[in-house]
Structure 1
Amino acid sequence: MAAPAADADTFDYVIVGAGAAGSVLANRLTEDGTATVCVLEAGPPDRNPWIHIPAGFIKTLVDPSCTWQFKTQPTPNTGGRAISTTQGRTLGGSSSVNGMIYNRGQPDDLNGWAQRGNRGWGYADVLPYYRRSERRIGFGGEGRGRETDGIPITDMDWINPVSEAFIAGCVGMGIPRNPDYNSGDQTGVGYFQRAILRGRRVSAARAFLKPALARRNLEVRTNARASAILFEGKRAVGVRYRKERGGAPREVRARREVVLSSGTVNTARLLQVSGVGPAPLVGGLGVPVVHELRGVGENFRDHYASRVVMRAKPGAQTLNQLARGVRLGAEVARWGLGRPSILATAPSHVHVFWKSFEGLDAPDLQCVFTPGSYAEGKVYVLDDYPGVTAGAWQHRPESSGWVRARSADVWDDPEIQPNYLSDPMDRRVHLGGIRLLRRMLSTPELAPYLDAETLPGPAAQSDDELLDFAFRNGSTTYHLIGTARMGPATDPTAVVDDRLLVHGMEGLRVADASIMPAMPSANTYATTLMIAEKAADMIRGRQAAPTVVSEAA
């Protein structure tokens, strides 16, 4: 790591979390050399080799050495199951273990944020920050005004005939082909853009944090689990952390600000165990109430997905065959030579942004397709038989839940209750999504490749039967947001203002997915990077250059 500042335990800024947001902030806040920054990361350095091989997410997702193995509370709407909602715990955070999909969502997502009283968060306001965080390589890249540093965003280069047939079938249904869903017009079908370059994952740590480590004004401390924010009155002045459970507490001080970038679960929990949150909850933890904010940990949302699986006919080549035996060896060799390979693909290959019912003005569903069949009840584990999988989830779920610390010990996992599908509208849209998947998998274009549906199976036809299937087999998409929601002081459930400063506090800011006031119609990674870019400018008192709304302009 880089050499620390003159006072090894006092910095201008202390950032808690070296994930997507924390990596961006560490880079931007140190780039002019005038401020000192310390980043605390609860996990280890990102030396696990599986992190850097795109297909290695199958390994890291279940590896507690580099992930938080959180689980949700069981509910009737999950068939009594506790669902694993893994988050990254290493340099790069979830960007080191996620599906690498880059997806901004619809412009009206951000316009809706602004309409809630969050000034400067409309689509035209934040578009420069999306652009700053990405380096678009491939289709339309340099000609569309996107930046030349940041996360490299590339197009799918491993093309399977079954995926091509799926896309053709969707087009035959009237869904337009869309080669660039991040252009401001999301509607349609095509291949995903992803954070993979020359066959390797490029996490936020690789793109932003590692280049900044050569600067003498940045220090990163790994295996440093934040246990409390330190306050003097209502002002945050530092962070207490521990290297191991029961270990001696250590402290690092902040002259200017403490910035929480720990993610939707850990940011809420750290605030609560530090005395900022709902008074009954904080008091129940045995922690003195520093400032009551009843929205801390509330407003939790996540995308809940169901997947339809079909068996492939013998002639189809799917991931199930290619990921085994001699064929896998050939794919490894191709990857080693820098050629397109299944080792260098994202878990979802094809996107479909479409409508659960005709007559809607814009898509309310995200659908994904992979030329491989996954085992029932298991996440991203290929089944024994060749097949394909298509999944769907609602863009903007109404169901909300909470994250609540169970104790003041940050080694105790908090209670996570997403209340999946508790809202009647969510169930209606979810059913529409499952039925749309079945239509897309039943096109004439796919008929030469597919045999029969195995999940949920042809016996499930009524709304009740399909909902029962969704309850028993649906799962998280790991898109956790909202537990430190942004909103004006007049909103009693808001936690931060539109400058991401915690209401009623001084020197304390939040910059991660927890501040999202509503779910974007997208995977959350791209928007988290944008939030961090904008936060860095606000901290430094800078403004982004104005931009036009249309990417094509």
Structure 2
Amino acid sequence: MASEQSYDFIVVGSGPAGCAVASQLAQSAKKPSVLLLEAGGPNDDNSLRVDGKRWQTFTQEGMNWGYKTVAQKHLNGRELDYSRGKGLGGSSAINFGVYAVGARDDYDEWASVVGDDTFSWKNIQTRFKKLETFNGTFDVAENQKYASPKASDHGTEGVLGVGYAKEWDQDLPLVLDAFEQAGFPKNEDHNSGNPIGMGLCINSCRNGVRSTAADLLLGHTNLVIVTNSPVSRVIMKGKRAVGVEANGQQYHASKEIIISAGSLDTPKILMHSGIGPADQLSKFNIPVIHDSPAVGQGLRDHIFAPVIVTRNPATNDRNAFFKDTGAMSAATTQWQKDNTGPWARYNCQICIGWLKSDNLTSLPEFKALPPSVQEFMNRETIPHYEMINFPIHNAYPDMFQDYSYLCLAVMMMNEQSIGEVRLQSSNPSEPLLFDPKFLEHPFDRKASIVIYKHLMEVVNHPSFAKDTVSTMLGAASDSDEDILEFWRNNISSTWHMTGTAKMGKVGDADAVVDHRFRVIGVDGLRVADMSCVPVLTNNHTQATAYVTGATAADVLLEEYGLAEITK
């Protein structure tokens, strides 16, 4: 327990955004006192940092809130996994380690929506570079042909280690070559601001070691971190936030409270603090401090569907490793010694790409979208879907006896279905009800068919099909009806929940916070996480969460005269 109860700043939540805010405030020249409260534990076991095992951490007991969606009307009543990280690092400690910053047009749109150039690509990219130390080298020289990142697009002095794995599964070049031979464009660096094309995934791992947001917290003597302290509410004095309550303990802030609990939990804290839709608050006898109908609305997310095929065992050597418990044990010992070996090779590098589709933009359902949405989706750097190869046996080991397989997944970008999160109890320890309303919008249903057919162009192309033995999982046929039914029965969330405390201009009906991250209608309270991001960015959103926190920190540093940073 912290020895003092009053701080300059209190940050709630230690995911990428919260850690970025807390660390940058703490390292500023004037050294304000900062308290970071985390609902989960310290997550300090070094075995959680094994690069090749990063696909498994979301199954670790105590690290995942274990959330589920409500039954989804358009998915045959299925309840989907809605995993969220618990403990230091938040979801960066349990995600699959894809570090993708998105499209420059995403951030220019964000700047336009809120009327503030702070969020434009030129400014956001500067923050991305400050966050990272990038590794773009490979141990195998001929693999360099698959990537050509420019130094000007990357950072060299940030705390967050990101880059490519030095060694790969042996069939990864075959997959990359198949995409190229099937006519898909190539992208030599998806973090340049233009993600269009297929290429190598940049990982939130470096030299065999997984990076998490907790890395940002090291070495700050004026930063107090309290774990296992779920915040139940913000303490309000009239219309001003003055503190928070966690485990019955009150902590006070003389300057600001920043909520960074994520798209599923930030709205819960706001609502239980009396800030939210008055009808929901009144239903559960929560006194209304500020009626903010948009709290919990605007939920958006990416969805994906997989195709799994068994492959010629000669194309890879995964069975020799994953069927040999002795080999895996020896690899663990080697990794513990120097972060090298098979656990720094297997599953550590995948291919990924973001793509456009003329078939999608010619759909009547696309042409029926608002002109502003059509214009955005037609911008140069905005993709319509993503493709990725995914070592799914790590996440779902019971599915596999033979590891000579490939799982290719297609992910929809710019979904038009909009969901919500809402109260189900007056008890702050009860989660909200999560309803993303997947496939509710007719455009999404039609787009799912189109992009699945693009995926099958790769699966059926001779360069890929020559090594395929059979199909483990896929649509029953290539008919539109069978493909849509396959999506209904097999899609998953990509865990990119966004927009439930949306940023906008004061007066906008859907705005919860303003362009300075301030909660509209109250003082002393800000939101800095994916819940406030007004654009569903075209990426895997952990990178956007980091830069959201970094941007909020810049805003606070400027407002409070703390802008000079010391190392």
TM-score (norm 2): 0.88
Could you tell me the percent identity over the aligned residues?
Answer: 27
Partner of 1:285: 284
Worse overlay, 71-80 or 519-528? 71-80
1:474 maps to which of 476, 491, 511: 491
- Conserved 8 A contact 1:151-1:202: yes
Matches within 5 A, 1:317-336: 317=316, 319=318, 322-325=321-324, 326-329=326-329, 331-332=331-332, 335-336=335-336
The alignment status of 1:193 with 2:193, answered yes or no, reads no
2:531 maps to which of 500, 514, 526: 514
Worse overlay, 228-237 or 67-76? 67-76
SS at match of 1:541: helix
1:94 maps to which of 87, 91, 95: 91
Q: Partner letter of residue 383 of structure 2?
A: P
SS at match of 1:254: strand
What's the CA shift string for 1:435-469, capped at 9, x where partnerless?
A: 11111122222234212222125x32211111111
The alignment status of 1:489 with 2:524, answered yes or no, reads no
Distance 1:524 1:318 in 2: 32
Displacement of 1:147 in angstroms is 4.3
1:23 maps to which of 19, 26, 35: 19
Displacement of 1:329 in angstroms is 4.3
Partner of 1:210: 218
What's the CA shift string for 1:10-50, capped at 9, x where partnerless?
A: 00111111111111111111112431111110001112444
The alignment status of 1:397 with 2:412, answered yes or no, reads no
Partner of 2:367: none
The alignment status of 1:460 with 2:477, answered yes or no, reads yes
Partner of 1:548: none
Distance 1:24 1:346, change over 3 A: farther
Displacement of 1:57 in angstroms is 3.9
Q: Partner letter of residue 363 of structure 1?
A: P
Displacement of 1:144 in angstroms is 4.1
Distance 1:122 1:144, change over 3 A: closer
1:220 maps to which of 213, 219, 225: 225
Q: Partner letter of residue 112 of structure 1?
A: E
What's the CA shift string for 1:44-96, capped at 9, x where partnerless?
A: 11124442123444543123412211100112322322111111111111111
Distance 1:347 1:420 in 2: 30
- Conserved 8 A contact 1:398-1:423: yes
Distance 2:42 2:474 in 1: 41
Q: Partner letter of residue 490 of structure 1?
A: G
Distance 1:262 1:335 in 2: 33
Higher helix share: 2
Q: Aligned-pair RMSD on alpha carbons?
A: 2.4
For structure 2, the 5+ residue unaligned runs are 138-148, 362-377
Distance 1:320 1:435 in 2: 30
Distance 1:464 1:447, change over 3 A: closer
The alignment status of 1:135 with 2:143, answered yes or no, reads no
Distance 1:156 1:55, change over 3 A: closer
Displacement of 1:160 in angstroms is 2.7
Distance 1:505 1:305, change over 3 A: same
SS at match of 1:322: helix
Q: Partner letter of residue 302 of structure 1?
A: D
Partner of 1:412: 430
Distance 1:71 1:50, change over 3 A: farther
Count of residues in correspondence between the two structures: 527
Distance 2:423 2:166 in 1: 43
Partner of 1:78: 75
Distance 1:365 1:320, change over 3 A: farther
Distance 1:544 1:524 in 2: 28
Partner of 2:369: none
Partner of 2:354: 353
Q: Partner letter of residue 492 of structure 1?
A: A
Distance 1:79 1:436, change over 3 A: same
Partner of 1:363: 383
Partner of 1:246: none
- Conserved 8 A contact 1:76-1:471: no
What's the CA shift string for 1:158-177, capped at 9, x where partnerless?
A: 32332211111111122232
Distance 1:327 1:34, change over 3 A: closer
- Conserved 8 A contact 1:296-1:483: yes
Distance 1:344 1:494, change over 3 A: farther
Distance 2:347 2:550 in 1: 25
Displacement of 1:182 in angstroms is 0.6
Q: Partner letter of residue 35 of structure 1?
A: P
Distance 1:498 1:409 in 2: 31
What's the CA shift string for 1:154-205, capped at 9, x where partnerless?
A: 1132323322111111111222322211112211111111111221111110
Distance 1:250 1:330, change over 3 A: closer
- Conserved 8 A contact 2:65-2:86: yes
For structure 1, the 5+ residue unaligned runs are 243-248, 546-553
SS at match of 1:223: coil
Displacement of 1:338 in angstroms is 3.7
SS at match of 2:171: helix
Distance 2:430 2:17 in 1: 24
Partner of 2:364: none
What's the CA shift string for 1:470-511, capped at 9, x where partnerless?
A: 111110111111001000112111100011101111000000
Partner of 2:260: 261
- Conserved 8 A contact 1:44-1:89: yes
Displacement of 1:382 in angstroms is 5.1
1:53 maps to which of 31, 45, 50: 50
What's the CA shift string for 1:87-122, capped at 9, x where partnerless?
A: 111111111111111101111111111222331222
- Conserved 8 A contact 1:264-1:483: yes
- Conserved 8 A contact 1:136-1:142: no
SS at match of 1:88: coil
